Structure 1
Amino acid sequence: MTTPPRTRSAAGRFRLARALTAIAVGGATTVLAGCGAGSDEADGPVTLEFWTYSLKGADPAAQAIIDRYEEEHPGVTIRLSEVGGTAETSSKLLAADRADDVPDIVQVEYRALPSLVVSGVVRDITDDVADARENVDENVWALNSVDDRVYGVPQDIGPMMFTYRADLFERYGVEVPTTWEEYAAAAETIHAQDPDVYIASFSASQFEFFAAQAAQAGSRWWSADDEGWTVGIADEASLRTADFWQDLVDRDLVSVEPLLTPEWNAKINDGRILSWAAAAWAPSVLYSVAPDTAGQWAAAPLPQWTAGDPAVPFQGGSTYLVPEKSEHAEEAAEFAAWLGASDEGSELLLDLDLYPGGNGGRAATLESDPPRLMPEQTDFYAMADQVIQDTTIPMTWGPNVNVAQGAFSDALNQAALDGTPFRDVYTATQETVVEDLANSGYPVRR
């Protein structure tokens, strides 16, 4: 995900540049969120409250990271509070902001960043982390930025890849698909030989994957310029991807079911679902549910929409934010920069089975053992690093991404079960998102 290249936070709303400089969206006229806020550096010992779902307090590797930082920074104590995923964390942060009782550092997924910036609850840390910029590639910093202002430090990233059962692809006589057209052909070949076996499952809950795949095909689900927001969920490039999956579902070439249920896990273990198009974190997830299949899997770059064009967006990953009302904002930003961007911190994140966004951690992966799911694929991290270099498609998430996900996922799942047009789901989601933006006071280009 990247954020809109020409938008910024003002009065809890995006105020668009130049053409809207005299207009505060929603009728307010306050200064930019994050500018000049936060506390001065503390004179005495500091305890930083850290909301995270990656660093588990009971995990020795996580505690070793905290211990290392505290050893290097006497007088600073990091207190971990384990919270839920992005939606839960974001709602908790908004409530904490209203109660003037915020933590000092918060981990959220990249797609949540714009809405939190819009709400004015996170600090602009551009100046605080300026010295760390050279330690992270620009396509990764873009995930943490709004209108060229930095609001977060990257923890991990999701280079998109294709994870598949190499042994069963060989058994069924299919090559690893390099294009989505070849993917569909492989799906047909596999299912024709065994009606109980599918190349993959179709899970409508993979909202971020469908958005990323549409971006790969040339769509932009959200974009912004001086005149307002444009929503492209139902543009032709996006509908092309809807048609692609409609065809596979209608021909029963993918299994319509959610991910990571006991049933799905059983099919992964039994070799009845043979691949997962996701990101470099997929092998870790698959190993957690099917460790006995280790050694039978391999990874490859994501299939392409246009043969010869390897460009992809990121899928997934998270960032460290500093709440606007943190009492120790400078110390929090310093810790976030160390953990996510320094060579030492980002390398230590590897111990948490994360794909770090910092260059130091990325470089360390090249010397790391392959994922446990595919211990013989020694080129895994070199391949993933090349994918990161090919990650040149920006993903802009709008301020109402939660509205889009709610409108999209359940409706798409029902359409897959009922055999009704996927295009209708994309079109209806577009209308819902546009209406919500307009009702929330955002300028919308129709």
Structure 2
Amino acid sequence: MRSSIRTAAVTAIAVSALLMTGCSADTTGGDSGPVELTYWAWAPNLDKVADIWNESHPDIQVTVNKQDGGDPAITKLLTAIKAGSGAPDMIQAEYQKIPTLVGSDALADLSEYGADDLEGNFPSGAWNSVTLGGDAVYSIPQDTGPMLAYYRTDILSQYGLTVPTTWDEYADTARALHAADPTKYLGTFSANDAGWFAGLAQQAGASWWSIDGDAWGVDIDKEATQQVASYWGALVEEGVIDNKPMYTPEWNAGLNDGSQAGWVSSVWGPGVLAGNAADTQGKWTAAEVPQWTAGEATNGNWGGSSTAVTTQSKHPKEALEFITWLNTDAEAIQALVDNAGIYPADTKAAAEALTESPEFFSNQADFYTVAAAAASAVNPFTYGPNVNVAFSAYNDEFAKAADAKTQSAFVSAVTNMQKITTDDLKKSGFNVK
């Protein structure tokens, strides 16, 4: 599997002149002094976590270089890889960026240093994302974003409604709520959040890319994604679900005044709610997202990142030692929770570190029990080397569909995403199945 991924990716990189030979690895330290490692990351306060490591590991010292964010850091890394110098030893990498980085020969395969022994620490969906479904280990999961649904239970109770457990129930509840009070919606379809929609498709069983030998496949326009698009398009056409984008002033106001009485989101939702609708604290409940089939337990992921070692690092073994500690050690995980506010990917460490509900959900003692169940149910999902193109296509095509407010427009948007993504892969020189 590993050679197939690299063969498919390198074909395109050769055409686009992105692939340059990295520095050869050297796992030995210098003649004197500690091994010095650099770590590019954007999560807050990671330097405080690294300080804990540095204090107890004088022979391996880590310096965190704060980056502006996910995409700028990745672009900066690819520039350094192309130049053959200037890359850090380690980088924080979102899961959807890993195929692009692997295709650019930017990430070291950590399996030769024993990283595959860590598989049991993480949910299968997270591990699949860092291995691309093969034997190589390109990164170690740090945090995940299992999807959760949030509801204003005070509003639901006012109209005799309950938290839905299936998507059929969600639709019925949305209809009943909007009929009882036309100013209120159970949620919104956001045409500018491709990661959100990808997570919903993932829950339905979709995987937007696939690998077959030396060829990539694009599988966006398949039954699972069409099912999700058709479902939301029908609710928008019916008028019982809103279609304003998330994170706008209007949407924020809706969280405060109750016109947005629900939000299908992720485990990091409490921070958004606390920041945008502080006065509604205690009025929300978190639940697993509705299921397509009653009694099943499937989920998608929206967000999260990992820690990778670059091919230019001269100390990959020591770098792996640090990132193993960072993402699996109980003290490190607690520090990540306290300082960076993450939801840890390590299943056991997360349970030990997250013993109290987020302050905004102090009324719900089982918040992290619900979150753990959601995390364990995440389906595998393969990202491709042009995820940026697919996500951009989502924004463009679903913006048109949201304006049209018809179910057929939502379905057509998926078909258009498929064509745009496939055409881009071929244009970039990839072998496309």
Per the alignment, residue 59 of structure 1 pairs with none
Per the alignment, residue 229 of structure 1 pairs with 216
Measured in 2, the distance between the counterparts of 1:126 and 1:193 equals: 57
Name which of structure 1's ranges 333-342 and 252-261 shifts more when overlaid on structure 2: 252-261
Per the alignment, residue 89 of structure 1 pairs with 73
Q: Could you say what secondary structure the match of 2:396 adopts?
A: helix
Measured in 2, the distance between the counterparts of 1:39 and 1:55 equals: 30
Measured in 2, the distance between the counterparts of 1:10 and 1:79 equals: 30
The 3 A distance-change label for structure 1 pair 130 and 37 is farther
TM-aligned CA deviation for residue 248 of structure 1: 1.5
Measured in 1, the distance between the counterparts of 2:2 and 2:286 equals: 36
TM-aligned CA deviation for residue 138 of structure 1: 4.0
- 2:41 matches 1:49: no
TM-aligned CA deviation for residue 106 of structure 1: 1.0
Query: Does the CA contact (< 8 Å) of 2:207 and 2:220 recur in 1?
Result: yes
Query: Does the CA contact (< 8 Å) of 2:42 and 2:70 recur in 1?
Result: no
Query: Does the CA contact (< 8 Å) of 1:10 and 1:33 recur in 2?
Result: no
Query: Does the CA contact (< 8 Å) of 1:228 and 1:443 recur in 2?
Result: yes
- 2:317 matches 1:340: no
- 2:108 matches 1:123: yes
Per the alignment, residue 270 of structure 2 pairs with 283
Per the alignment, residue 236 of structure 2 pairs with 249
- 2:143 matches 1:143: no
TM-aligned CA deviation for residue 134 of structure 1: 4.4
Query: Does the CA contact (< 8 Å) of 2:23 and 2:311 recur in 1?
Result: no
In structure 1, stretches of 5+ residues that fail to align are 16-23, 57-61
Query: Does the CA contact (< 8 Å) of 1:156 and 1:319 recur in 2?
Result: yes
Q: How does 1:38-117 map to 2 (within 5 A)?
A: 38-43=25-30, 44-56=33-45, 62-99=46-83, 100-117=85-102
Measured in 2, the distance between the counterparts of 1:288 and 1:444 equals: 44
Measured in 1, the distance between the counterparts of 2:22 and 2:79 equals: 21
Q: Could you say what secondary structure the match of 1:106 adopts?
A: strand
Per the alignment, residue 389 of structure 2 pairs with 403
Q: Could you say what secondary structure the match of 2:361 adopts?
A: coil
Task: Give the structure-1-normalised TM-score.
Answer: 0.87
Name which of structure 1's ranges 135-144 and 282-291 shifts more when overlaid on structure 2: 135-144
Per-residue CA distance 1:360-394 (angstroms, 9 max, x = gap): 4222145x111112102111112222223322x21
Per-residue CA distance 1:393-417 (angstroms, 9 max, x = gap): 2111111111111111122012211
Query: Does the CA contact (< 8 Å) of 1:154 and 1:320 recur in 2?
Result: yes
Query: Does the CA contact (< 8 Å) of 1:229 and 1:443 recur in 2?
Result: yes
Q: Could you say what secondary structure the match of 2:112 adopts?
A: coil
Query: Does the CA contact (< 8 Å) of 2:5 and 2:103 recur in 1?
Result: yes
* RMSD between superposed Cα atoms in Å: 2.5
Per residue, is there more helix in 1 or in 2? 2
Measured in 1, the distance between the counterparts of 2:400 and 2:125 equals: 36
Q: How does 1:315-326 map to 2 (within 5 A)?
A: 315-326=302-313
Percent pairwise identity: 37
Q: Could you say what secondary structure the match of 1:116 adopts?
A: helix
